[in-house]
Amino acid sequence: MADWLNQVFCEDALAGLARIPDGAIDLILADPPYGLGKDYGNDSDKLATADYLQWMERWIDAALPKLKANGSLYIFLTWRYSPEVFVMLKQRMTMVNEIVWDRRVPSMGGSVRKYSSVHDTIGFFVMARDYHFDLDAIRVPYDAVTKKARSRSIFVGAKWLELGYNPKDVWSVSRLHREHRERADHPTQKPLEIIERMVKASCPPGGVVLDPFMGSGTTAVAAKRCGRQFVGFELNPDYCAMIAQRLAQQGVVAHMSDDPVPAPAPA
Ligand SMILES: C[S@@+](CC[C@H](N)C(=O)[O-])C[C@H]1O[C@@H](n2cnc3c(N)ncnc32)[C@H](O)[C@@H]1O
């Protein structure tokens, strides 16, 4: 097995990406700092606008050659910089969807001079027309009541009725709260439900998912749970420890340093 597979390196993504061979990755799942000044225990989210956009372009140009010809990319953004970053990516890839993640933020007051922002903007981009996309793996099953309501004869036997409907581009999934079992101590941890949907749809079984900004390691955990391989990077050593702990719960001993020593293969 390649010495970079199924590992999260505690280092700058730009340094780590240089070690990944070109054309080796099925799916890039990127959740970079949003440019909103969040505290990740480092200054990574505190760049001025021009510097932030320049940095985004740098890692995008370092990451895209790693994709296979039929590979895909999902990128988490907010309304603040999604216009600029989408234009950047559209010059390099084909945009397939803008997905709105409704974080189901409870209604308690909120902004007073504008509308309260309660969603993430996710871009879904592909390299080529024959991109991998497994719709059946992510269909949404109907509950019994809805299924019954669609019982008119013209619907009988319809695949979407039997297997579930095709997911739409608005995903309403609660952000993680303390009471959620999967919650780790990271300010922008993504729910496994969201990441696993992306992995199942856009990375074939056994394929490789690259996450340049692992945070609490959600992508690595999702990849392992879905029978895919992973590689990624994270700057903050405390988050790296968190990732190692989350992966250990999945039975994976991941090597967590900037020294590319092979880790034992996942079970
Ligand atoms: C939005 S968070 C990712 C959250 C992650 N998706 C999760 O579910 O936990 C972005 C992460 O990128 C890390 N980061 C920022 N700049 C980085 C860089 N140059 N290389 C590697 N990681 C970086 C931050 O420390 C932060 O943990």
Please tell me the distance between residue 2's alpha carbon and the centre of ligand 1 in angstroms.
24
Tens of pLDDT, residues 13-30: 999 999 999 999 999 999
**Model pLDDT for residues 104-160, shown as the tens digit of each residue:** 988 877 889 999 999 999 999 999 999 999 999 999 988 888 777 777 787 777 777
Stronger pLDDT, 256 or 127, i.e. the higher one: 127
254 pLDDT tier (thresholds 50, 70, 90): confident
Indicate the CATH number for domain 7-132+169-249: 3.40.50.150
Ligand 1 neighbourhood includes 236 CB (under 6 angstroms): yes
Q: Alpha helix (H) ranges present in the chain?
A: 13-17, 49-63, 82-90, 144-149, 159-163, 192-202, 218-225, 237-249
- Spatial contact of 209 and 228, defined as CB atoms under 8 Å apart: yes
Instruction: Judge if pTM exceeds 0.85.
Output: yes
CA distance 6 to 231: 5
Q: Select from 29, 235, 243, 256 the residue to mutate for testing ligand 1; criterion: most ligand atoms less than 8 Å from CB.
A: 235
Domain boundaries, the chain: 7-132+169-249
Kindly report, residue by residue over 176-218, the tens digit of the pLDDT: 999 999 999 999 999 999 999 999 999 999 999 999 999 999 9
| Cα separation, 165 vs 16, whole angstroms | 39
DSSP state of 212: S
